Amino acid sequence: MRKTSYLLVIAAIMLLYGCNNEADEVLPEEDPIQEEEDCTPQFPDMDVTYNNYVKGIMDQYCISCHHAGNSTGPGDFSNYNGLLTYAEGSSFYARVIQDGADMPQGMAPLPKAIRDSLDVWIQNCAPLN
């Protein structure tokens, strides 16, 4: 009986010691979940940014309806963050970029070159500058 008790005490000490050492072990970091901020530009040689191109399009064609305050259209396209909320959604793509788009409302769709540039901007991760 004494030998069995001795073995149980030794086993318990080893178990506790082993658990204590595991806590000190440095584990490799897991790759973080990639978020939309980790976007890879699809057309890196094309310099289409919000400030150098997209803002002018929004100012000319969109903000008469899509602006802060009492606007007739959803969203505020008068600034980068307001536009970004909608630009990456399928509704924006369908209504503004793809063939058969119906925006700007009550007018002819945007010229194909402009729609293609907006598409490049989105596929390049919608850069600000």
CA triple 101-105-106, angle to 5 deg:
115
Per the CB < 8 A criterion, the answer to whether 109 and 101 are in contact is: yes
Confidence band of 17 (pLDDT split at 50, 70, 90): low
- Can you count the helices (H) and strands (E) in the chain? 5, 0
Read off the pLDDT of residues 50-88 as tens digits, 9 standing for 90 and up.
999 999 999 999 999 999 887 788 889 999 999 998 888
The upper half-sphere exposure of residue 68, i.e. CA atoms within 13 Å in the direction of its Cβ, equals 5
Residue type at 81? N
What is the model's pLDDT at position 29? 40
| pLDDT above 70 coverage of the chain, percent | 71
Helices (H), 25-111: 55-61, 80-87, 90-92
CA–CA gap between residue 69 and residue 71 (Å, rounded): 6
